[in-house]
Amino acid sequence: MAPAIVALGFVGRNGDAYRNLSVASKFLSGETPVDMRPFLRFWNQIRYPMWANLETTVRTGEAQSILHLPGDMQRIFSEGVQAIQAVPSRALPETYDFHRHRRVLDIARGNGILARRYHQSV
């Protein structure tokens, strides 16, 4: 994975040391409107381990689930989903006129970011 990120120009490499280049820093510094650090924590601590167990899941038929996450994992999940949905959750209320609707149902098992953006737009 790291060689691909280097090839795309997000990360620089000097021997065994990696560093963020300016484009990655824009999304990983926490100083810009789009902060992807929570999404990377989500992938690192929840999604990647699930993919790493794919072979076991296929062999045993035992499903992996994110419905009942233990401890801090639920917070990491919610923050990661909110980070990746930050831009789309702003775009939908800006491009679709919700005023003709009296109710909106946000079904996503998240923190209601889309519903909050909708409410702010009305």
Q: pLDDT per residue over 25-64, tens digit each?
A: 888 888 888 888 999 899 999 988 888 888 988 999 988 8
Q: Same domain for 20 and 38?
A: no
Q: Same domain for 7 and 64?
A: no
What is the rounded CA–CA span in Å between residue 82 and residue 37?
A: 11
What is the rounded CA–CA span in Å between residue 30 and residue 38?
A: 10
Q: Same domain for 38 and 23?
A: no
What is each CA distance from 14 to 6, 7, 27, 43, 71, in whole angstroms? 11, 13, 21, 25, 37
Q: Same domain for 78 and 110?
A: yes
Q: Same domain for 16 and 65?
A: no
Which pLDDT belongs to residue 1? Answer: 66
pLDDT bucket at 8, cuts 50 / 70 / 90: confident
Residue 27 lies in domain: 1-32
Q: Same domain for 26 and 46?
A: no
Domain count, the chain: 2
What is the rounded CA–CA span in Å between residue 3 and residue 11?
A: 9
